[in-house]
């Protein structure tokens, strides 16, 4: 009944189905783990944003980037900006999704170390090869408050480029700034500016928005979708098998019926079907009618014959 499953075509179909099931299950778990990572990240961001601010030197060290558990912590730092060593970071989006630059300015601390401060976003000008117009930072000693961020690398999904115009970079990276001649020790990571005391006079770069920590994405929906696909594979395979068996049985029954059918012989001229001469067939068919007519006439002859006898 199911011997057709041993055919080359059905062996291939079955093997593909068997291979698809674990692959789809694994893809479902991959999306589920991504959902868990997203939820954990949201919890970490929300928790760190609510934490009390701490001095920057408690969480940042020279030559060490910011650990994941300290990312988005609020820190404070007191020092003086060095605008002459300021750089801009290319291809960054503002609040309205317009292309522009992040403005990164070193802040020199009292101990002689420096921390990179992302002061915010400025729009790009018509000429991308020249340094954009950037509002100056406040002069003198200031206290900044900001969110702690790790160094950006090519592993974070941002592609670096060589041969950029002077004081333009693609990544915010403390090691690169130190290598470019920023004097003194440079603390790893950078600070995303939230507030300054005293407040800067005049227009300042647009502050970087707080990270979204409420959306969980669609990973869990994708996970369920993959698992449904995995469950549907054997069901679909069985439906195809049943359909194939039904089609084969119908074809076999039709072939058997055609073999068992006996074709009728054609009638010759003057003969009825079955070889009986047409005239004989007519006589045979008329015999009952003639007998009935004779029976009807018999009673009317009986009295005359009786009188003749008398």
Give the predicted TM-score (pTM) of the model.
0.69
Q: One digit per residue, pLDDT tens: the chain, 310 residues?
A: 678 878 888 899 999 999 999 999 999 999 999 999 999 999 999 999 999 999 999 999 998 889 999 999 999 999 999 999 999 999 899 888 889 999 999 999 999 999 999 999 999 888 878 888 999 999 999 999 999 999 998 777 777 787 888 889 999 999 888 767 788 899 999 999 999 999 888 899 999 999 888 888 899 999 999 999 999 999 999 998 888 888 888 887 888 877 776 565 655 555 555 555 555 544 544 555 455 445 444 444 444 444 444 4
- The answer on 128 and 65 residing in a single domain is yes
Give pLDDT, residue 301.
40
Short-list 76, 75, 69, 74, CA closest to 43: 69
87-93 vs 99-109, strand pairing mode:
antiparallel
Task: Say what the pLDDT of residue 269 is.
Answer: 55
**Domain check: are 192 and 121 in the same one?**
yes
Does residue 294 sit within a domain? Answer: no
For residue 127, give the 3-state DSSP assignment: coil
Residues 170 and 96 in one domain: yes
Same domain for 30 and 129: no
Half-sphere exposure of 43 (CA within 13 A, CB side): 6
pLDDT value for 261? 66
Residue 182's pLDDT is what?
A: 87
Do 41 and 81 have their domain in common? Answer: no
Considering the domain architecture, whether residues 41 and 58 belong to the same structural domain is answered as no
pLDDT at position 245, please? 84
Shared domain check, 169 and 96: yes
Expressed in angstroms, the distance from the first to the final Cα of the chain is 90
The verdict on 95 and 146 lying in the same domain is yes
| Exposed / middle / buried, residue 92 (Cβ in 10 Å: 0-12, 13-18, 19+) | buried
- Strand ranges (DSSP E) for the chain? 54-55, 74-81, 87-93, 99-109, 114-123, 141-149, 168-169, 186-197, 271-272, 276-277
What local confidence, expressed as pLDDT, does residue 111 receive?
Answer: 93
How big is the chain by its Cα radius of gyration, in Å?
48
Domain check: are 115 and 175 in the same one?
A: yes
What is the domain extent for residue 28? 3-47+218-246
> Is 140 found in the same domain as 124?
yes
* pLDDT for 281: 47
Residues 11 and 137 grouped into a single domain: no
Cβ neighbors of 294 (< 8 A, separation 6 or more) are none
Task: Evaluate whether residue 7 is within a structural domain.
Answer: yes
């Amino acid at each position: 009944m199911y011997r057709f499953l041993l055919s080359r075509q059905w062996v291939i179909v079955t093997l593909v189905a068997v291979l698809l099931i674990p692959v789809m299950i694994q893809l479902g778990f991959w999306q589920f783990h991504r959902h868990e990572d997203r939820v954990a990240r949201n919890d970490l961001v929300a928790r760190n944003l609510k934490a009390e601010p701490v001095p920057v030197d408690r969480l940042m060290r020279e030559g060490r980037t910011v650990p994941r558990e300290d990312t988005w912590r609020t820190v404070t730092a007191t020092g003086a900006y060095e605008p002459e060593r300021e750089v801009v970071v290319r291809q960054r989006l503002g609040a309205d999704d317009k292309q522009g630059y992040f403005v990164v300015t070193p802040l020199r601390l009292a101990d002689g170390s420096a921390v990179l401060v992302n002061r915010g976003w400025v729009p790009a000008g018509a000429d991308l090869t020249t340094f954009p117009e950037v509002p100056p930072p406040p002069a003198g000693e200031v206290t900044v408050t900001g969110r702690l961020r790790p160094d950006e690398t090519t592993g974070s999904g941002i592609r670096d480029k060589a041969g950029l115009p002077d004081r333009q970079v693609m990544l915010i990276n403390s090691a690169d700034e130190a290598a470019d001649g920023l004097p003194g020790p440079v603390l790893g990571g950078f600070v995303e500016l939230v507030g300054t005391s005293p407040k800067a006079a005049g227009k300042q770069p647009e502050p970087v928005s707080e990270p979204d920590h409420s959306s969980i994405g669609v990973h869990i929906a994708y996970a369920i979708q993959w698992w449904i696909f995995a469950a549907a594979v054997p069901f679909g395979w069985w439906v195809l098998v049943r359909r194939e068996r039904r089609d084969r049985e119908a074809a076999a029954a039709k072939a058997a019926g055609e073999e068992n059918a006996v074709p009728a012989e054609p009638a010759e001229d003057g003969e009825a079907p079955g070889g009986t001469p047409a005239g004989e067939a007519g006589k045979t068919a008329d015999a009952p009618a003639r007998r009935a007519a004779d029976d009807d006439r018999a009673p009317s002859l009986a009295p005359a014959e009786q009188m003749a006898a008398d």
